Homo-oligomer: A and B are copies of this chain.
Amino acid sequence: MTRWLDDDEQRTWRDFMAATQLVNEALDRQLQREAGMPHTYYMILVALSEAPERSMRMSELAARAQSSQSRLSHAVARLEERGWVRRRPCDSDRRGSFAALTDEGFAALAAAAPGHVAEVRRSLFDVLTPEQLGQLAEICAAVRNTLEP
């Protein structure tokens, strides 16, 4: 027995889809245009930049950058071609490998960051009141805690 969405729920759902997609597209376009990389790559670089030695195991990196392992593997291959990331084997576990941010990669990230932050503000933070921002924070935390494995 399906419990369909009533009119209010419909509206909420469609606004949710539209809003999140608009934010994502704005972000992706900004980064693609001004930094030549998709948002997923940017998140990988950020995660690496925050790690000790700017280096991390692939699986750890996938978790932090909210990427599947396969996606990460392909992405790191591209980033390696650009010279932004380098892979090195893991001594303690010979199946594993580390990805490390190069200086060029860090420079690319540093160059991209200001435009990215501006876009984050423009497309989300500046749109909401401080109160709404607090509400959104709790809502997203709840969703994340429920859905994250």
Contact = CB atoms under 8 A, between A and B. Distances in A.
Interface string A111-139: 00110011011011101100011011111
A53 interface: no
B12 A20 contact: no
Nearest to A39: B17
Given A15-B144, A19-B147, A128-B143, 20 more contacts: A2-B117, A8-B137, A12-B133, A13-B124, A13-B125, A15-B137, A15-B140, A19-B140, A20-B23, A20-B140, A22-B148, A23-B143, A123-B143, A124-B143, A127-B142, A127-B143, A128-B142, A135-B136, A136-B139, A139-B139
Interface of A: 2-5, 8-9, 11-13, 15-24, 26, 43, 66, 113-114, 117-118, 120-121, 123-125, 127-128, 132-133, 135-144, 146-148
What's the dominant secondary structure at chain A's contact region? helix
